[in-house]
Amino acid sequence: MLLLLGRRVPLSFVHRLTTCRPPPRPVLLRSALLKLSAITGATHTTVFVSATGQHTGTMPERRPFVRLPADVYPVNYGLCLKPDLIDFTFEGKLEALVEVTQATNQIVMNCADIDIITASFVLPGGDEINATGFNYQNEDEKVTLSFPSALQKGSGTLKVDFVGELNDKMKGFYRSKYTAPTGEVRYAAVTQFEATDARRAFPCWDEPAIKATFDIALIVPKDRVALSNMNVIDRKPCPEDANLVEVKFATTPIMSTYLVAFVIGEYDFVESQSSDGITVRVYTPVGKAEQGKFALEVATKTLPFYKDYFSVPYPLPKIDLIAIADFAAGAMENWGLVTYRETALLIDPKNSCSSSRQWVALVVGHELAHQWFGNLVTMEWWTHLWLNEGFASWIEYLCVDHCFPEYDIWTQFVSADYTRALDLDALDSSHPIEVSPHPPRSRTCGNVWNRPAGNPSPR
């Protein structure tokens, strides 16, 4: 149960509130601002002055951040990706079922570091309209697809063929270097989409409130493991190349783009089932499966705890936890496929201390809490990231205390996190927990909340 407007409501009700059609955009009071500017004579130009008092130049007006228009929104993404682990590129095909809310001859989507080859719109009757132009707004990370005639109100299918790069920046769809047991250096293809990097893997409506379902397929080398948010429903040889296979995954629940994930690489795994029948796997580097057993124990204990605590079952048939060699964040709560740094997931049973186990337990508890609070129920905009992360950072302690009472974890919470939160909040540089990140860049969104300070807030 959650408190909403002073009343207790079930989590499922809040979920329905966050999975509706995207809300209308707030109206910008541009005319009022222009009138105020005319009255006061104010300008939007910043003048730089040197230490000697001389003018050194001006900074041009920064355009206001504008969210995506609401005239077209997605219902389902049909996505097929073919990564090349040698040339570090990928090919993609998108077939998105969309709803047009008002007639328009343009579709605006998020897109970054992707080249669109072709695009078209298929009407319900089967007629196909080819796009006549792609206008990239690189600074805004958007693309506008133009069509020769207006797309009328109703449903249709947007088809886009595109190519991109498996970058080395640890964001979007990127390559992760690892060393095989033979000593050979190899690469995996992995994802990190929060906050705004799904657009680097495929053109999309990359805002948290614009949810849709996903049907994902990956064309990968036949000797590689391919994972995504959902379970595999089909794996068959690729007709064009005997060394490749096409792996199809089940349809996801309705979800935000930043939670989509896929991983292609070489991994071992350990497997178990939670008491409520959810298949849990921990994927490790080849030869290190033993080091995934503790995280597996934590996950199988954690899922039933959250199910009972939220009174909502985990909605997916499986959950995978995977250790990534090159990973910028500590961990990422992708729905059904949680990615971790190796140090946040793996425990060597022969050489690990108690504090390392407690850390892994807390991180696993944190990310699995997000499977409900963040994934099932999602913030409308990044302004409210503090609640998403602050709540998970508190409830991870509640979970670990329940699953491993011998850790006396609440004592550590008070002596470490809580005390540090008070110290940080006393600094002159302390900021409100609610900050508007416009535009919402990955680094910006990661800094709008402070984990220790977020912990006490929901409590």
Location of each CATH 2.60.40.1730 domain in the chain: 65-266
Contact (Cβ atoms closer than 8 angstroms) between residue 129 and residue 148: yes
Residue the block writes with tokens 């990310």: 367
Contact (Cβ atoms closer than 8 angstroms) between residue 13 and residue 7: no
The residue from 207, 297, 333, 367 that is catalytic is: 367
For 69-109, what is each residue's pLDDT tens digit?
Answer: 999 999 999 999 999 999 999 999 999 999 999 999 999 99
Q: Given this model, what pLDDT does residue 439 score?
A: 67
- Size of the chain in residues: 459
Q: Given this model, what pLDDT does residue 291 score?
A: 98
Q: Given this model, what pLDDT does residue 27 score?
A: 38
The ranges of the chain with pLDDT < 50 are 1-9, 11-52, 443-454, 456-459
Cα angle: 167, vertex 83, 132; to 5 degrees: 85
Check residue 277 and give left, alpha or beta (phi > 0: left; psi -120 to 50: alpha).
left
Rounded Cα distance, 303 and 314, in Å:
7
Partners of residue 204 on adjacent β-strands: 110
- The reply to whether 139 belongs to the active site is no
Location of each CATH 1.10.390.10 domain in the chain: 267-378
Enumerate residues 6+ apart whose C-beta is below 8 A from 248: 215, 216, 217, 232, 233, 234, 235
385 CB neighbour count, 10 Å cutoff: 26
Task: Identify the CATH homologous superfamily for domain 65-266.
Answer: tricorn interacting facor f3 domain (2.60.40.1730)
Architecture label for domain 267-378: Orthogonal Bundle (1.10)
Enumerate residues 6+ apart whose C-beta is below 8 A from 145: 106, 107, 108, 109, 116, 119, 131, 133, 134, 158, 160
SS3 346: coil
Angle subtended by helix axes 385-403 and 354-369, to nearest 10: 130
Enumerate residues 6+ apart whose C-beta is below 8 A from 15: 312, 376, 377
- What pTM value is reported for the model? 0.84
Q: Given this model, what pLDDT does residue 188 score?
A: 97
Q: Given this model, what pLDDT does residue 437 score?
A: 65
Q: Given this model, what pLDDT does residue 397 score?
A: 96
Burial class (CB in 10 A: 0-12, 13-18, 19+), 426: exposed
Backbone angles phi, psi at 373, to 5 degrees: -95, 90
Q: Is 55 annotated as a binding residue?
A: no
Q: Given this model, what pLDDT does residue 443 score?
A: 42
Enumerate residues 6+ apart whose C-beta is below 8 A from 137: 143, 144
For 373-389, what is each residue's pLDDT tens digit?
Answer: 999 999 999 988 888 89
Residue the block writes with tokens 């680097």: 200
Contact (Cβ atoms closer than 8 angstroms) between residue 100 and residue 154: yes
For 396-421, what is each residue's pLDDT tens digit?
Answer: 999 999 999 999 999 989 888 888 88
Q: Is 370 annotated as a binding residue?
A: yes
422 CB neighbour count, 10 Å cutoff: 12
Enumerate residues 6+ apart whose C-beta is below 8 A from 230: 216, 249, 250, 251, 252, 316, 317, 318, 336
373 CB neighbour count, 10 Å cutoff: 23
Burial class (CB in 10 A: 0-12, 13-18, 19+), 299: buried
